[in-house]
Amino acid sequence: MLKFTAEHEWLKLEGDVATVGITTHAAEQLGDLVFVELPEVGATFDKGADAATVESVKAASEVYCPLDGEITEINQAIVDDPSLVNSDPQGAGWFFKLKLKTASDADVLLDEAAYNELIA
Protein backbone atom coordinates (compact mmCIF):
# COMPACT_ATOMS: atom_id res chain seq x y z
CA MET A 1 0.00 0.00 0.00
CA LEU A 2 1.36 3.40 -0.99
CA LYS A 3 0.92 6.57 1.04
CA PHE A 4 1.83 10.08 -0.11
CA THR A 5 2.81 13.45 1.35
CA ALA A 6 1.78 16.89 0.15
CA GLU A 7 5.52 17.46 -0.49
CA HIS A 8 5.45 14.75 -3.20
CA GLU A 9 7.10 11.84 -1.42
CA TRP A 10 5.63 8.33 -1.57
CA LEU A 11 5.96 5.60 1.02
CA LYS A 12 5.50 1.86 0.64
CA LEU A 13 4.77 0.52 4.10
CA GLU A 14 5.90 -2.91 5.24
CA GLY A 15 5.31 -3.20 8.98
CA ASP A 16 7.31 -0.43 10.67
CA VAL A 17 9.61 0.12 7.66
CA ALA A 18 8.75 2.49 4.82
CA THR A 19 10.47 2.58 1.45
CA VAL A 20 10.52 6.26 0.45
CA GLY A 21 10.89 8.02 -2.90
CA ILE A 22 9.55 10.95 -4.88
CA THR A 23 6.34 10.70 -6.84
CA THR A 24 6.04 10.45 -10.60
CA HIS A 25 4.57 13.97 -10.54
CA ALA A 26 7.62 15.33 -8.68
CA ALA A 27 10.04 13.59 -11.06
CA GLU A 28 8.21 15.04 -14.06
CA GLN A 29 8.27 18.54 -12.54
CA LEU A 30 12.00 18.34 -11.80
CA GLY A 31 13.01 17.11 -15.24
CA ASP A 32 16.10 15.02 -15.91
CA LEU A 33 17.99 14.37 -12.68
CA VAL A 34 21.77 14.71 -12.80
CA PHE A 35 22.66 14.29 -9.10
CA VAL A 36 21.21 12.58 -6.02
CA GLU A 37 22.58 12.85 -2.48
CA LEU A 38 21.20 10.40 0.07
CA PRO A 39 21.42 10.33 3.88
CA GLU A 40 23.75 8.04 5.82
CA VAL A 41 22.45 4.68 7.03
CA GLY A 42 21.77 5.05 10.76
CA ALA A 43 20.87 8.74 10.52
CA THR A 44 17.67 9.74 12.29
CA PHE A 45 15.26 12.39 11.07
CA ASP A 46 12.18 14.15 12.29
CA LYS A 47 9.18 14.47 10.03
CA GLY A 48 9.74 17.29 7.53
CA ALA A 49 13.53 17.39 7.89
CA ASP A 50 15.69 17.55 4.75
CA ALA A 51 16.75 13.94 4.17
CA ALA A 52 18.07 13.94 0.59
CA THR A 53 18.89 16.32 -2.24
CA VAL A 54 18.19 15.99 -5.94
CA GLU A 55 19.48 18.19 -8.73
CA SER A 56 18.10 18.36 -12.22
CA VAL A 57 18.98 20.40 -15.25
CA LYS A 58 16.27 22.81 -14.01
CA ALA A 59 16.83 23.11 -10.26
CA ALA A 60 17.94 21.58 -6.97
CA SER A 61 15.35 20.34 -4.53
CA GLU A 62 15.18 18.76 -1.10
CA VAL A 63 13.51 15.45 -0.38
CA TYR A 64 11.90 15.58 3.04
CA CYS A 65 11.65 12.82 5.58
CA PRO A 66 7.93 11.96 5.60
CA LEU A 67 7.82 10.67 9.19
CA ASP A 68 10.08 10.39 12.24
CA GLY A 69 12.52 7.51 11.90
CA GLU A 70 15.94 6.03 11.20
CA ILE A 71 17.49 5.33 7.80
CA THR A 72 18.11 1.58 7.48
CA GLU A 73 19.05 1.36 3.80
CA ILE A 74 19.78 3.64 0.85
CA ASN A 75 19.44 3.04 -2.88
CA GLN A 76 23.02 3.44 -4.13
CA ALA A 77 21.79 2.73 -7.68
CA ILE A 78 20.17 6.19 -7.94
CA VAL A 79 23.37 7.89 -6.77
CA ASP A 80 25.28 6.04 -9.49
CA ASP A 81 22.55 6.65 -12.10
CA PRO A 82 20.10 9.46 -11.18
CA SER A 83 18.08 8.82 -14.35
CA LEU A 84 16.58 5.77 -12.59
CA VAL A 85 14.45 8.22 -10.61
CA ASN A 86 13.08 9.66 -13.86
CA SER A 87 12.48 6.29 -15.53
CA ASP A 88 10.90 4.52 -12.52
CA PRO A 89 10.24 7.02 -9.70
CA GLN A 90 7.80 4.82 -7.80
CA GLY A 91 9.77 1.61 -8.26
CA ALA A 92 13.52 1.15 -8.89
CA GLY A 93 14.03 4.90 -8.23
CA TRP A 94 13.31 4.66 -4.49
CA PHE A 95 15.54 6.74 -2.20
CA PHE A 96 15.79 5.13 1.25
CA LYS A 97 14.19 2.81 3.75
CA LEU A 98 13.02 4.36 6.99
CA LYS A 99 12.35 2.47 10.23
CA LEU A 100 9.41 4.42 11.59
CA LYS A 101 9.56 5.67 15.16
CA THR A 102 5.77 5.24 15.37
CA ALA A 103 4.23 3.20 12.54
CA SER A 104 0.72 4.55 13.20
CA ASP A 105 1.94 8.05 12.21
CA ALA A 106 1.57 6.88 8.59
CA ASP A 107 -2.20 6.82 9.07
CA VAL A 108 -2.39 10.60 8.57
CA LEU A 109 -0.66 10.53 5.17
CA LEU A 110 -2.57 10.81 1.90
CA ASP A 111 -3.84 7.80 0.01
CA GLU A 112 -3.43 7.69 -3.77
CA ALA A 113 -6.86 9.21 -4.50
CA ALA A 114 -6.23 12.15 -2.13
CA TYR A 115 -2.75 12.72 -3.61
CA ASN A 116 -4.11 12.67 -7.17
CA GLU A 117 -6.72 15.24 -6.14
CA LEU A 118 -3.97 17.41 -4.65
CA ILE A 119 -1.96 17.51 -7.90
CA ALA A 120 -4.95 17.76 -10.25
Instruction: Quote the pLDDT of residue 1.
Output: 77
Domains and CATH numbers, the chain: 2-102 (2.40.50.100)
Ordered per-residue pLDDT tens for the chain, 120 residues: 799 999 999 999 999 999 999 999 999 999 999 999 999 999 999 999 999 999 999 889 999 999 999 999 999 999 999 999 999 999 999 999 999 999 999 999 999 999 999 999
Contact yes or no for 41/8 (Cβ under 8 A): no
Strands 44-45 and 69-74: antiparallel
Q: Do the Cβ atoms of 16 and 101 come closer than 8 Å? A: no
Q: Are 91 and 68 in contact (CB under 8 A)?
A: no
State the Cα–Cα distance between residues 97 and 17, nearest whole angstrom: 7
The pTM score is 0.96
